[in-house]
Structure 1
Amino acid sequence: MDAGRSMSGITDRLSDSEIGERLRLAREASKLTQAQAADVIGAARTTIVAVEQGKRRVQTDELQKLATAYRTSANAILRREAIHLDMVPRFRKLEDSKDDDVERATRLLNTLVRAEVELENALGVSRARNYPPERPLLPGDVRSQAEQDADELRGWLGLGSGPVTDIVSLLDLQLGIRVYIRPLEGKVSGLFAYDESVGACILLNANHPRERITQTGIHELAHVVSTRRQPEVLTEDERFASREERYANVFQRAFITPGRAVRQRFAEITAGQSHLTRRHIILLAHVFGVSREAMVRRLEELKLTREGTWDWFQEHGGITDAQVREVLGELTGRPDNSVFARGHVPPRLALLAREAWKKELYSEGQLARLLDLDRHSIRALLDGTEREESEADERIKILR
């Protein structure tokens, strides 16, 4: 059997050039050179060049060896539903993406997007995009535009003045953005990319506190709104020098802590008081679900307190977790039902994986490789799937 014939009976339509391109992307993803790939199959580098260009058909034994070296499988290379997307080159053009941590994060985002689209294709489903209207940056002060765009988007989403409690579900389920949370190395807080074939994609750093992940998610949402065709890397030492980054930074604060709502709550909480206290900050931060520093910085920005207020608190002992517990008591220990409490797989992708496993389209091991997870994480993801199936009843069957 040659590599152009399907192992599953449906991929014989793949041309030699398509297989070659998929092999090239897999090789580059594994960071192997053409010379190293040639050594794997005991051939000259020109053989790999010819295979990747579709000028020579790869043999079955060669395909198996190359797939193993590329940390994938021959079936994954040949499956018609598999998507072979490469967003890495567009990130390499960015000035702030010239380091290994960013490249690893970019490749991870690429892997996760490919995995989700492959599951969609295997199950015959598509992702509905409910993106907000694109708002290109206008001449003048981007701060006022960012405030207005953030306020209008909250209204469009029907959020009112309440806190953003689950940024992943908002991006994933309400807007149809592909969003993933995984531990990232180095100073990378988040990545954003847009591709016409797969839509908007965001990767967030699971190592960060929940409030920080929310802020990063909204920062990347700002790029969906204003500059969605430009890839973006957000790092911990980002200075927001460009107009695009200044817009995203203000948009982030305005969306999470909308000006009108902050002013109203501030007036209620400080009524009759002459000085801003730690208790005021703790209560406001709790109401809006942000860090104490983010809350004070927002108050400074809205001219509700003087610039330098946060620095003053820091110089005088800060606002400690013990003080938070004194003010909020048992509220600090309330159960977390958000996606953050359910692991690193967003809601929709978890449903796709469970359905694909239930239909025996993918094994546990294949899903682990596809989603770049260990076996323990996959088992936790699939836990309860069999029980759900056995408990199914025709009376609660979804009507199509």
Structure 2
Amino acid sequence: MNRLEIAQRLRAARELASISQNEAADALDLPRTAVTQIEGGNRAVSTMELVSLAELYRRPVSWFFAEAPDAEEDVVIALHRIAPGLDDAPNIRSEVDRCVRICREGVSLEGLLGREERDGPPAYREPVPRSTGEAVMQGERIAEQERKRLELGSAPVADMTELLGDQGIWASVAELPPTMSGLFLHHRSIGMAVLVNARHVRARQRFSLAHEYAHALLDRDRVVGVSSATNSSERIEQRANAFAAAFLLPEAGLEEELRQLGKGQPARTDQIVFDVATGGSIQGQLRPAPRSQTIGFQDVAFIAYRFGVSYQAAVYRLKSLRYVNQPESALLLSSEHEAAGGDYLRALDLFDDLETPVSAGKGTRELRSRVAHLGLEAYRLGEISRGRLLDVGKTIGVDGRKLLDLAEAARAE
């Protein structure tokens, strides 16, 4: 490859990354004119300079030498271009980029092991909703279909991160801007990946995982999807919220839970029995005890715990399914009742299961463990070297020497 071709690719990578020549020059500790000369093909770029520029432009060095570099926008570049706020804090940018690197490493290892490409769950082809009502209808219908496909029945979902992983989607908790609940990424270099906000409490993280799962099912044509307070009114976001509510709180499961609590039954049940003596019927009514069917804060709190959702999400779902009306839902959502629901869960030592965040460190365990397993298997089968396995350990934040010891033990079996 000649100097001019490399120069053209360096310029293209810099422009895609939205980096000025001055910024590139500062990174190399060179005058801007040196970058101009490099990009014009008038000056050769050294190996060290190329490595530094590749890191700055978020491109692998090999991209600059490939016979036909990928014209598709790099997922990291697209992510930082589409998701405003990621670059405002270095720790957030670093954490998100690290999660993407782990996913990319996982895809690379799967390729070395001859695994099939991660296609993910089936794609549901639905038109973009034209109204909020249509968005809710689509979301609830797809949630029911997906539960049937996964054979979940009406039971609560035990672990959303594990469920996504089993469906070929990398899933993790990561540091995100406060207004951002989650990200959905889809690129051939990483497959499909979901990141949810480490700042949010567990119940909200679970809801965000289900929300982003909806995007994987319905909106996977995008390289990057951002779910935040600024775009919550978009129809596909409303659809994803409806999917998450119905997927985590299935109607049949909620009905059964209320029955177990002695709630949710009709206020009056007509009883009609055939009378063999007269050929007519015997009629009567069965009425529950007064106020016995009232759904209180303690019922909502327990349902929230059982299905792993927030107190508010449980109230809105009960209202959607007409178990509570508008005045009743407003009362349940009042600060006094919501606080009482929290006190109820605290008294039973259940509060932390919903209302404490899963930290970014613990939230990446599922993702890191899957990639670590791939690394060990690739080394055991001789597909990667010791050095590459040490690099895998560095990428996933595991002591490379310990990983190597485990790999050697696995190879010896």
**TM-score, L = length of structure 1:** 0.72
Q: Does 1:298 align with 2:317?
A: yes
- 1:344 matched to 2:364? The reply is yes
Q: Distance in 1 between matches of 2:78 and 2:60?
A: 26
Per the TM alignment, residue 234 of structure 1 is displaced from its structure 2 partner at its CA by 1.1
Question: Which structure has the higher relative contact order (CA within 8 Å, separation 6+)?
Answer: 2
Aligned to 1:63: 50
The residue number in structure 1 matching 2:22 is 35
Residues 96, 174 of structure 2: 8 Å contact kept? no
Per the TM alignment, residue 142 of structure 1 is displaced from its structure 2 partner at its CA by 2.3
- Equivalent residue in structure 2 for 1:360, among 386, 393, 402: 386
Write the letter of the residue equivalent to 1:86. Answer: D
Residues 281 and 341 from structure 1, CA distance in 2 versus in 1: closer, same or farther, beyond 3 angstroms?
A: farther
Aligned length: 363
* Bigger Cα Rg: 2
**Are positions 1:378 and 2:398 aligned together?**
yes
For 1:290 and 1:297, the matched residues in 2 are separated by: 11
SS in 2 for 1:178: strand
Tell me the alpha carbon deviations over residues 13-45 of structure 1, each in whole angstroms, 9 at most, x when there is no partner.
x9985797479658976x753334345264622
Letter in 2 for 1:349: V
Q: How does 1:40-59 map to 2 (within 5 A)?
A: 40=28, 42=30, 44-50=34-40, 58-59=45-46
Cross-structure match for 1:8: none
User: For residue 118 of structure 2, what is the aligned residue in structure 1?
Assistant: 128
Corresponding residue number in structure 1 for 2:160: 167
Inter-CA distance 263–383: structure 2 relative to 1 (3 Å threshold) = farther
Distance 1:106 1:339 in 2: 14
SS at match of 1:222: helix
- After TM superposition, give the deviation of residue 320 of structure 1 in Å: 4.7
Aligned residue runs from structure 1 range 104-123, under 5 A:
104=93, 107=97, 110-121=100-111
The answer to whether the Cα contact below 8 Å between 1:180 and 1:203 also exists between their aligned partners in 2 is: yes
Do 1:38 and 1:48's aligned partners in 2 also have CA atoms closer than 8 Å?
no
2:198 paired residue number: 206
Q: 2:336: which partner in 1?
A: 316
**Conserved 8 A contact 1:356-1:362:** no
Is structure 2 residue 216 aligned with structure 1 residue 224?
A: yes
Asked whether the equivalents of residues 168 and 339 of structure 1 are also in contact (C-alpha less than 8 Å), the reply is no
Read off the aligned partner of 1:362 and give its amino acid letter. Answer: R
Which runs of structure 2 are paired with 1:170-209 in the superposition (5 Å)? 170-173=163-166, 175-196=167-188, 198-209=190-201
Q: 1:20 to 1:164 in 2, by over 3 A?
A: farther
1:166–1:339 contact (8 Å) kept in structure 2: no
State how far apart, in whole Å, the 1-side matches of 2:216 and 2:142 are: 12
Distance 1:360 1:25, change over 3 A: farther
Picking from 237, 253, 259, the partner of 1:261 is 253
CA distance in 2, matches of 1:242, 1:62: 44
Taking a change above 3 Å as real, the CA distance of residues 252 and 16 of structure 1, as seen in their structure-2 partners, is farther
1:247 aligns with 2:239: yes
Contact 2:214 2:243 in 1 (8 A): yes
Aligned-partner SS, 2:236? helix
Contact 2:198 2:363 in 1 (8 A): no
* Contact 1:19-1:78 within 8 A present in 2 as well: no
Q: 1:183 to 1:383 in 2, by over 3 A?
A: farther
SS at match of 1:378: coil
Aligned-pair distance for 1:254? 0.6
Distance 1:182 1:254, change over 3 A: same
Amino acid of the residue matched to residue 323 of structure 1?
Answer: Y
- Which whole-Å deviations, capped at 9, do the CAs of 1:248-287 have from their partners, x for residues lacking one? 1101101111122212222321346232223212221222
* 1-structure distance, mates of 2:105, 2:8: 19
Quick one: distance in 2 between partners of 1:343 and 1:79?
Answer: 35
Q: Secondary structure at the match of 1:186?
A: coil
**CA deviation string 1:121-153 (max 9, x = no partner):** 555545432422322236662222211110000
Q: Distance in 2 between matches of 1:19 and 1:119?
A: 31
| Distance (whole Å) between structure 2 residues aligned to residue 333 and residue 360 of structure 1 | 40
Aligned amino acid, residue 168 of structure 1: T
Contact 2:154 2:250 in 1 (8 A): yes
RMSD: 4.4
Q: Which moved more, 1:71-80 or 1:96-105?
A: 71-80
Q: 1:164 is paired with a residue of what secondary structure?
A: coil
Deviation at 1:303, TM superposition (A): 1.0
Counterpart residue type for residue 344 of structure 2: Q
Taking structure 2 as the reference length, the TM-score comes to: 0.70
CA–CA distance in 1 between the matches of 2:227 and 2:178? 12
1:59 Cα deviation (Å)? Answer: 3.0
Aligned to 1:287: 306
Letter in 2 for 1:315: S
Distance, in Å, in 2 between the alignment partners of 1:295 and 1:220 is 19
- Displacement after TM superposition at 1:218 (Å): 1.1
> What is the CA-CA distance between 1:93 and the residue it aligns to?
7.2
User: Secondary structure at 1:319's aligned position in 2?
Assistant: helix
Structure 2 residue aligned with 1:87 = 75
